[in-house]
Structure 1
Amino acid sequence: MTDAGVLHCRTVVRYGIGSVGTAAFGTLPGLVLVYYLTDTLGVPALAAGIVIAVAKIWDVVIDPAIGFVSDRHAEARGSRRPLMLLGAAALPAAFLVTFAVPGALPTAAQALWVAVAFLLSATAFSLFQVPYIALPAELTDDYDQRTRLLTVRVVVLALGILVFGAGGPALRDAGSSEAVGYLLMAAVTGVLMGVSMWVASRSADDARRVVVGDAPVSPAVAYRAAIAALRRSRALRMLLGAFVLQGLATGLMLAGAQYIATWVLDSESAVSVLFAALIAPALICTPLWGAIARRWGKEVGFVAATALFALAAVSLAGLWWSSGPWVYGSVAVAGAAYAGMQALPMAMLPDVIGHDEATHGESAAGTIGGVWTAGETSGMALGSVLFTLALAIGGYISSDEPDAVIQPGSALDAMIVGFSVLPAVLALVSVPLILRYPLRRTTIETMNDKVVAGD
């Protein structure tokens, strides 16, 4: 970072590369883990949802504590890098073990194996992700530079989702058996996650030093700090609430993609085409959302992106009547909107952290990053759980031999509702929260001017 707050390209690139790991861990578990449980291991749909939920409830518990510890490390050691490196080192192995379930185990033991391994994976991911989320507020104080940094991150994120969303199932299908295919997918993905997270950790060296106070490190203090941050920052409550609701919406669609491809589009491999249709427009449109933010404000673009996503999602209810190529057009519009729904709130979060530091008198970037990560990951995961609940209500038949199963019409209806109507409703419910978000460009610029003037 320069004295004027302009970010070096090196910093932007290093930080953006971290989204390769974020894309992989955010995409593949949501895309294939529930399907792996129900249609490879034969775990009932509701039980599969519980497996995912347990790991994400654990995320909610540990993320604020990780954020609190990250703040203390940032002050004492001058960098958030140690925790990021620990997560980068541990995640590849834990992710591989998640998909290395011994075939000889009973179904219940297989579900338990996945639950424990995925919990360890989620823990390792949080060790990286929480400080990673905190960094933008410390890399630059400039309103537009933050948008630039997070726009690059979301472009990389979108590219990563495309690669892993399409390539992950392709790697799985390339194996000599389902078990070998899932191991191949997990091994390649794990290596790429670890390398990208290591590169991103280097960007922590460019962050400014922070002052976080002298509170002792303990779980109780960490959770009190997280609650205090939520209480004092209306901007955080509004932004996080909207993002969690949208995480539920996108989590539903992500979990549903494989089921829609297999049972509605009658092509298991169609999930790769769905992802291409979703992410290719996101790659193109992410810079456009950045331009909208610079011209009219981040919050205006966020509302527009959300409304467009809801419109695209509800149009997919047409799957009840037809499953033709038009589906990919609706998914493409959702992808264009998804780019804004990712880039803009991520660019708004550093403003929230900076505003909190200016008004509170000390940095809570890690604590707020922990709260944000807990909300983000639990929203996506609970979207998967909500989809499995819809499947259970619809009478979905789980089997380790899915080719021998004919799903009832009610199960197909549940898939379509979970892939279209529910995401649209959740997106629309988030709009009033965005409208109540209080920070504008003028707020941030005035605050920064006061800091420079020493007021």
Structure 2
Amino acid sequence: MTDAVTGNTPMADAPSTPPTDRLPLWTAFGWGMGTLGVAAMYNAVNILLLQYLVDFVGIGAAVAGGLMALSKLYDAFTDPVIGAISDRSKSKMGRRRPFVLYGCFLLALSAILLFNVPSGLTGNLAVIYAGGALILYATAYGLFGVPYMAMPAEMTTSANERSRLISFRVLAVSIASLIATFVGPVVLQMFNNSSTGYSIYSSMLASLAIIGGLTAFFATRNAPFHYQDSPYDLNIFKMVQSAWLNKPFMLLVAVKLISLMTMAVTQAVMPFLFFQVLSLDSAQLGYYFLLFYLGMMCSQPVWLMIARKLGKRWLFITTTILSALVALTWALASPGDPYIYVLARGLAAGIIGGGGLMVGQSLLPDVMAYDFKLTGMRREGLLSAIYTLVEKFAFAMGTTLTGLVLGLTGYIKGTGGAPVQQPESVVNSLYTLIAVFPISVACICAVLIYFIRIPGQK
């Protein structure tokens, strides 16, 4: 029987290996470690790149934010293409694994280029260089990330096993983020935020990309995957019509857009708040993220148990509200506060954020599996592309918003990373972005999450 909307015959795919409810530990762990490179780059770009381009390279805040936004517009064209190509792949290695292999090396190259802007480049030449490096990074991220995030929906039929898979990914995210946001800033501080420090930092990011990609590639050698006998129709109107049928997916995309944009704002603001307002240094920023990601890492077994008992939806709502309340406490921060207060915020945010990240990410393969039941199409790559595109677009919007607000409120850019006394308007905008903005959108996200209902799941 042919689906009236999609024109495809349900259940037309032929699995190369039957999906199982329980995956070997090495397969699950190795797949999770694949995210080392993208997670490290994700944090480096979203937390440190804007500040690096503005205060070290000397590019204006609004211009730097605009460059990052333009690179995401480029993603709007490339990510769906990559997703559709991976869905149609006939490689004997699996539909997704070749992309993981080649993508990790391109990601490593982009890491080297992004944080090594030649000192001789100034003005328009620096802007052109940074824009080109961002385009390369966007291409590499999509080539690796889109097929990679489509794999869990093929690898197992169990919603709980998908949560287990994602918990290993969150573990890898924590490890990579520790290196990107703790070890990296400490290294930068050791080298006085010099070009040498940024060069070493970029080499660390590149190494993580290659190690993570190769680990995932070899660990998933025997993982289940599917070939598609009848490729889905790429007619844009049919795709939009069929996507609307998958209400859980559309709601999840809306939640990720809003919540990740908020996270992007708070992460981009963090270095400015630490350096320009609270008079803290790179090492102290690193220790904040050390506790943040240790909390995220160590809390995973607990969140996994809670998700099985409470249900993913209610856990997602709870962690969303609690994360916003922790962010609101930044409104009380001021220069001269005991540093332990800053560290306590980092630990609390990490523990709560670990639950939100695990349950939010594990819903993606769930809605992919529901999409297959609904439409009969194996289009995990395309759905992953939409999800990844929204993810990157949200962070671009957040970073762009941060750059624009700083520019409009009179932020005084530096050169070489030296702190500059900022006007009161800038200080007030930083507090608003990091403390007030998150709580204002958390309630919207909680309502949307409430309506994410997948048949057979709590």
Say yes or no: TM over 0.5: yes
Query: What's the counterpart of residue 262 of structure 1?
Result: 275
**1:264 and 1:95 mapped to 2: Cα distance?**
29
3-state secondary structure, aligned to 2:34: helix
Distance 1:226 1:172, change over 3 A: farther
3-state secondary structure, aligned to 1:160: helix
Letter in 2 for 1:365: E
Query: What's the counterpart of residue 408 of structure 1?
Result: 423
3-state secondary structure, aligned to 1:122: helix
**1:168 and 1:83 mapped to 2: Cα distance?**
28
Q: Pick from 98, 104, 108 the counterpart of residue 82 of structure 1.
A: 98
Q: Is residue 226–residue 371 contact of structure 1 (8 Å, CA) maintained in 2?
A: no
Q: Pick from 214, 238, 257 the counterpart of residue 244 of structure 1.
A: 257
Letter in 2 for 1:88: C
TM-score normalised by the chain length of structure 1:
0.91
CA-CA distance at 1:320 after TM superposition: 5.5
Query: What's the counterpart of residue 129 of structure 1?
Result: 145
3-state secondary structure, aligned to 2:268: helix
Distance 1:121 1:82, change over 3 A: same
Q: Is residue 23–residue 160 contact of structure 1 (8 Å, CA) maintained in 2?
A: yes
Distance 1:42 1:69, change over 3 A: same
User: In the alignment, is residue 363 of structure 1 matched against residue 378 of structure 2?
Assistant: yes
Query: What's the counterpart of residue 280 of structure 1?
Result: 294
Query: What's the counterpart of residue 110 of structure 1?
Result: 126
Query: What's the counterpart of residue 295 of structure 1?
Result: 309
Q: Is residue 264–residue 323 contact of structure 1 (8 Å, CA) maintained in 2?
A: no
Please state which structure has a larger fraction of its residues in helix.
1
Q: Is residue 75–residue 138 contact of structure 2 (8 Å, CA) maintained in 1?
A: yes
CA-CA distance at 1:118 after TM superposition: 1.4
Q: Pick from 209, 212, 224 the counterpart of residue 207 of structure 1.
A: 224
1:208-247 mapped onto 2 (5 Å cutoff): 208-211=225-228, 213-215=230-232, 221=234, 227-247=240-260
**1:177 and 1:332 mapped to 2: Cα distance?**
26
Q: Pick from 141, 144, 159 the counterpart of residue 160 of structure 2.
A: 144
CA-CA distance at 1:404 after TM superposition: 6.7
Letter in 2 for 1:261: F
3-state secondary structure, aligned to 2:35: helix
**2:441 and 2:382 mapped to 1: Cα distance?**
27
**2:417 and 2:427 mapped to 1: Cα distance?**
15
Letter in 1 for 2:231: D
Query: What's the counterpart of residue 333 of structure 2?
Result: 319
User: In the alignment, is residue 188 of structure 1 matched against residue 204 of structure 2?
Assistant: yes
Letter in 1 for 2:36: V
Letter in 1 for 2:312: K
Q: Show CA shifts across 1:86-106 (max 9, x none).
A: 211211112211222222222
CA-CA distance at 1:407 after TM superposition: 0.9
Distance 1:236 1:322, change over 3 A: farther
**2:231 and 2:93 mapped to 1: Cα distance?**
14
CA-CA distance at 1:173 after TM superposition: 3.1
1:171-186 mapped onto 2 (5 Å cutoff): 171-175=187-191, 178-186=194-202
Query: What's the counterpart of residue 16 of structure 1?
Result: 32
Letter in 1 for 2:272: Y
Q: Show CA shifts across 1:125-181 (max 9, x none).
A: 110100110000001001111111111211221222122111122233344761221
- Of stretches 250-259 and 421-430 in structure 1, the one that deviates more from structure 2 is 421-430
Q: Show CA shifts across 1:48-92 (max 9, x none).
A: 101111112212221111111110015887431112222112111
User: In the alignment, is residue 98 of structure 1 matched against residue 114 of structure 2?
Assistant: yes
Query: What's the counterpart of residue 448 of structure 1?
Result: none
Cα RMSD between the aligned structures? 2.2
User: In the alignment, is residue 336 of structure 1 matched against residue 348 of structure 2?
Assistant: no
Letter in 1 for 2:57: L
TM-score normalised by the chain length of structure 2:
0.90
Q: Is residue 58–residue 413 contact of structure 2 (8 Å, CA) maintained in 1?
A: yes
Distance 1:323 1:47, change over 3 A: farther
Query: What's the counterpart of residue 61 of structure 2?
Result: 45
**1:442 and 1:414 mapped to 2: Cα distance?**
41
**1:45 and 1:91 mapped to 2: Cα distance?**
25
**2:391 and 2:193 mapped to 1: Cα distance?**
34
**2:285 and 2:229 mapped to 1: Cα distance?**
46
Q: Pick from 42, 46, 51 the counterpart of residue 26 of structure 1.
A: 42
**Identity across aligned pairs (percent)?**
26
Q: Show CA shifts across 1:212-248 (max 9, x none).
A: 62357xxxx3855753453221011111111121111
CA-CA distance at 1:4 after TM superposition: 4.6
Q: Show CA shifts across 1:365-391 (max 9, x none).
A: 000010111011221232211211221
**1:47 and 1:203 mapped to 2: Cα distance?**
42
- Of stretches 303-312 and 101-110 in structure 1, the one that deviates more from structure 2 is 101-110
- Of stretches 67-76 and 294-303 in structure 1, the one that deviates more from structure 2 is 67-76
Letter in 1 for 2:450: L
Return 5+ residue gaps in structure 2 as ranges.
1-16
Distance 1:352 1:116, change over 3 A: same
Letter in 2 for 1:268: D
CA-CA distance at 1:208 after TM superposition: 2.5
Query: What's the counterpart of residue 433 of structure 1?
Result: 448
CA-CA distance at 1:109 after TM superposition: 1.4
Letter in 1 for 2:166: L
**1:249 and 1:74 mapped to 2: Cα distance?**
39
Distance 1:307 1:184, change over 3 A: same
Q: Pick from 168, 171, 176 the counterpart of residue 184 of structure 2.
A: 168
